[in-house]
Amino acid sequence: MNSVKPVIVGLGEVLWDVFPDGPRFGGAPANYACHAAGLGADAHMVSAVGRDELGEKALQALADRRVNTNSIQQSEHPTGAVYIKLDSDGKASYEFLENTAWDHIHWSTDLERLASQTSAVCFGTLGQRSDESKQTIRRFVDATPASCLRIFDINLRPPFYDDSTILGSLEIANILKLNDDELPIVAALVGIHGTDCEIMHLLAKRFDLQLVALTRGPRGALLVRGAEVSDHPGISAAVVDTVGAGDAFTASLTLGLLSGHELDAINARATRVAAYVCSQSGATPALAKELLD
């Protein structure tokens, strides 16, 4: 990696994950930014929080994880929250509060300045559930340099997405990351069929994507970049919960791509990082030292 740290931006929702045993800081783009910072990036978060106790705690949680919070707006709307239930396998289901602070991210010259300096930005569908934040997210992505990795980590959370949000995001992205529940939804939307690998190749061709990444839980991950394919079978982990594992994978993938590493090495490391997060409680545990080498 270059001596100058890459500027990596999480773009979208900041919220609290309310587990059966209490609240923990979360939101997919925020998790991504925390893991990017933990892996050595100059990580920033673009979002909004309320002028309330959870908002102050969210800003502190990000700062504690070395994420720059200068681009987080403060709103009269409440800080976001999601209520999480875990099944017997540790897999999560979610119930989101609506009309929260991150639904009201507005455009500014400060965001335009940050976008112009960004090496990689990650955004999803949930942060675009309101028109106001959707417009700001699209504008930010459009304002990044041509060399920027524009990562659409689709993160489908029913009912907070629609076909136009998915298609519009694919049009502005150059990297797509999804999981094995989301791949068939996207394939059906655009009318393509085949094996996972075939669908990924077709998506890359249809939307001019540099890379498509598929995470498959305990079955590892599949990366497609042009004619290159990397298929990692996964790493055994004692799962505590799966929250944040996909975001950790995406953060590690981002750093690997920016560093110019081989695709198999990128996949192996990202899979290791995700497996470690699955073995810990919460979305953004401190990463083990051996994962940082």
Q: Which amino acid is at 106?
A: H
Question: Can you give the residue range of the structural domain that contains 30?
Answer: 9-291
CA atoms within 13 A on the CB side of 269: 22
**Structural domain contains residue 250:** yes
Place of tokens 């996949």: 267
CA dist 167 and 14 (Å) reads 23
Rounded mean pLDDT of 18-45? 91
**Structural domain contains residue 245:** yes
Work out the number of other CB atoms within 10 angstroms of the CB of residue 290: 8
Report phi then psi at 291, rounded to 5.
-80, -10
CA dist 252 and 190 (Å) reads 28
- CA-CA-CA-CA torsion sign (109, 112, 118, 124): positive
Weakest mean pLDDT among 106-120, 170-184, 261-275, 276-290:
276-290
**Structural domain contains residue 90:** yes
Total domains in the fold of the chain: 1
Segment 67-85, tens digit of pLDDT: 999 999 999 999 999 887 8
Rounded mean pLDDT of 201-219? 96
pLDDT at 151 over 90: yes
Beta bridge partners of 25: 16
> Where is pLDDT greater, at 13 or 288?
13
**Residue 218 pLDDT class (50, 70, 90 cuts):** confident
**Structural domain contains residue 3:** no
**Structural domain contains residue 30:** yes
Place of tokens 């030292």: 289
Rounded mean pLDDT of 6-26? 89
pLDDT at residue 239, as a whole number: 76
**Structural domain contains residue 2:** no
Segment 83-102, tens digit of pLDDT: 878 888 777 777 889 999 99
> Where is pLDDT greater, at 22 or 122?
122
Q: How far is CA 28 from its chain centroid?
A: 5
Provide the mean pLDDT of the chain.
Answer: 92
pLDDT at residue 1, as a whole number: 41
pLDDT at 282 over 70: no
pLDDT at residue 293, as a whole number: 63
**Structural domain contains residue 4:** no
CA dist 101 and 48 (Å) reads 5
Weakest mean pLDDT among 41-55, 144-158, 266-280:
266-280
Picking from 176, 106, 115, 111, the residue whose alpha carbon sits closest to that of residue 134 is 106
pLDDT at 152 over 90: yes
pLDDT at 59 over 50: yes
**Residue 244 pLDDT class (50, 70, 90 cuts):** confident
Cα–Cα distances (Å) from 247 to 4, 73, 111, 184, 188, in that order, read: 23, 22, 22, 20, 24
> Helix (H, G, I), strand (E, B), or coil: what is residue 213?
strand
pLDDT at 4 over 90: no
Weakest mean pLDDT among 10-19, 76-85, 126-135, 272-281:
272-281
Instruction: Report DSSP state, residue 261.
Output: -
**Structural domain contains residue 286:** yes
Q: Which token pair is 13?
A: 């929702």
Picking from 239, 173, 240, 227, the residue whose alpha carbon sits closest to that of residue 201 is 227
Picking from 254, 12, 50, the residue whose alpha carbon sits closest to that of residue 127 is 12
Exposure string over 154-186, b if 16+ CB within 10 A, otherwise e: bbbbeebbeeebbebbbebbbbbbbbeebbeeb
CA atoms within 13 A on the CB side of 46: 33
CATH value at residue 25: 3.40.1190.20
Beta bridge partners of 24: 17
Rounded mean pLDDT of 205-223? 96
Exposure string over 191-223, b if 16+ CB within 10 A, otherwise e: ebeeebeebbbbbbeebebebbbbbbbeebbbb
Segment 126-149, tens digit of pLDDT: 999 999 999 999 999 999 999 999
Return the axis-axis angle of helices 263-278 and 245-259, rounded to nearest 10°: 150
